[in-house]
Amino acid sequence: MSTVVVTGRIPQPGVDLLRDAGHHVLAWDEPTPISRDELLRRVAGADVIVSLLTERIDAELLDAAGPQLRAVCNVAVGYNNIDVAACRERGVTATNTPGVLTDATADIAMALILMSTRRLAEGERLIRAREPWQWGMFMMLGSGIQGARLGIVGMGQIGVALARRARAFGMEIAYSNRKPCDTAVADELDASYLSMDELLATSDIVSLHCPYSPDTHHLISTPQLQAMKRSAYLINTARGPVVDEAALVAALEAGEIAGAGLDVFEKEPEVHAGLLDRDDVVLIPHLGSATIETRTAMATLAARNALGVLAGSGPVTPIS
Ligand code: DGY
């Protein structure tokens, strides 16, 4: 029997898979995130840590777990909370949950595109504020997306899934990525592979789907925002610190872009005060993968990764 420490609440099927395999599962079951001190105490003696993106898995934590630790299994596709090099140095396998949240996250990105361009959150706020209103030819006009160019930064699984949705809405697809995507996919989407500069200068909507790393820290800051069309919108469902939030507020203030739709924030759960009262931004609380089905699939995939490592057959989705 091995000990698996789960650092936060996850859907029960994930916990059941681990328990049914005979492991001792120590799951943090409180609605609030575990404190760092409590986490450092709890992981001592763990064979596997099943982690949430709210927990920092660094050298200190790995050492607190001890030399018997075999794997850290993140319940997220993004793994910027894990020091992968520190895991490697200690022979600890790190895993994430790609694939199972692709559709849910692409849905949220598409929703943010529609909410931003059609001013949906603003309209909802108007009604809830019990303001008098009357249909009018020029009331709350937005921008249509048919024929508009969607510039996707990071053409991985979620970028491609968003592109498919956007094509159904009549959008034109451009993308920027470390390398061109598969020819069959590019042909299917009729997608243009552009440099980041070209993409920023020509897109009507720029949507971020790259992983967060030191290389992508503030990938979108003042020069990039100034390079965008004044009529363009920025969508972020990747990780908050990919965008320099202070620069975004300044760009919105100066009318350098038309608006933004954000699911993630630089200092989550804090949101830059300059965004909170703006009607030209849509703000939602990191809901990309937040469906019952998706979160259950993430939890069970993380559990299968843990079981694979403990059984010696290897994880299903290791971080390469
Ligand atoms: C992820 O898996 O990285 C998402 O941000 C979780 O919603």
Residue by residue, DSSP assigns 65-132 as: H-TT--EEEESSS--TTB-HHHHHHTT-EEE---STTHHHHHHHHHHHHHHHHTTHHHHHHHHHTT--
The band of 320, judged by pLDDT with boundaries at 50, 70 and 90, is confident
For residue 222, the model assigns a pLDDT of 98
Task: Report the pLDDT averaged over residues 67-75.
Answer: 98
CA 35 to centroid of ligand 1, rounded, Å: 20
The band of 209, judged by pLDDT with boundaries at 50, 70 and 90, is very high
For residue 172, the model assigns a pLDDT of 98
Please confirm, yes or no, whether 239 is among the known catalytic residues. Answer: yes
What's the pLDDT tens digit per position in 33-59? 999 999 999 999 999 999 999 999 999
Please confirm, yes or no, whether 23 is among the known catalytic residues. Answer: no
The pTM for the full model equals 0.96
Task: Report the pLDDT averaged over residues 84-96.
Answer: 98
For residue 8, the model assigns a pLDDT of 96
* Interaxial angle between packed helices 102-117 and 157-168, expressed in degrees from 0 to 180 and rounded to the nearest 10: 50
Contact 297, 289 (CB under 8 A): no
Please name the residue that has the structure tokens 């451009």.
174
User: Buried b vs exposed e over 205-230: b needs ≥16 C-beta within 10 Å?
Assistant: bbbbbbbbeeebeebbbbebbebbbe
Residue 268 reports pLDDT greater than 90: yes
DSSP label at residue 31: S
Give the containing element (helix H, strand E) for 21. none
The band of 212, judged by pLDDT with boundaries at 50, 70 and 90, is very high
Best of 54, 77, 212 for a ligand 1 pocket test (most atoms within 8 Å of beta carbon): 77
For residue 98, the model assigns a pLDDT of 98
For the chain, what is the largest distance between any 2 Cα atoms, rounded to a whole number of angstroms?
A: 68
For residue 154, the model assigns a pLDDT of 98
CB count within 10 Å of CB 191 equals 22
* Interaxial angle between packed helices 292-311 and 102-117, expressed in degrees from 0 to 180 and rounded to the nearest 10: 150
Q: Which residues line ligand 1 (CB under 6 A)?
A: 53, 76-78, 101, 288-289
Q: Nearest C-alpha to atom 2 of ligand 1 is from which residue?
A: 76
For residue 225, the model assigns a pLDDT of 98
CA 297 to centroid of ligand 1, rounded, Å: 12
Nearest atom (ligand 1) to Cα of 237: 5
